[in-house]
Amino acid sequence: MRSRSSYKPLVWKLCCIGIILLSVLTFTSLVIPAHQFEPTLSGVPYTLWVGITMTAVIMLVNAVGAVFYPGEESESGENS
């Protein structure tokens, strides 16, 4: 079984790719269609609630990337 540290570079790269794709997708006509306000969710227009959802997903991917960042780890016995 592989340890968590062996997955870090893979998860980090997937998070980077995910952030780039989500950022590009946010500005496409899928998220920001011209002159479309329907459907609404609790009175909030489509563009706004999809934008809020995309932001939440980007924040979640960013948090996962922060946990799996493959940077140097300090050893538990060292004092800086």
63 in a structural domain? yes
Span 55-80, mean pLDDT?
78
76 in a structural domain? no
31 in a structural domain? yes
Average pLDDT of the chain is 81
34 in a structural domain? yes
58 in a structural domain? yes
In the Cβ-directed half-sphere of 76, how many Cα atoms lie within 13 Å? Answer: 0
State pTM to two decimals.
0.71
18 in a structural domain? yes
Higher pLDDT pick, 73 / 39? 39
- For residue 23, what are the domain limits? 4-67
Overall domain count for the chain = 1
22 in a structural domain? yes
The predicted structure's pLDDT at residue 63: 93
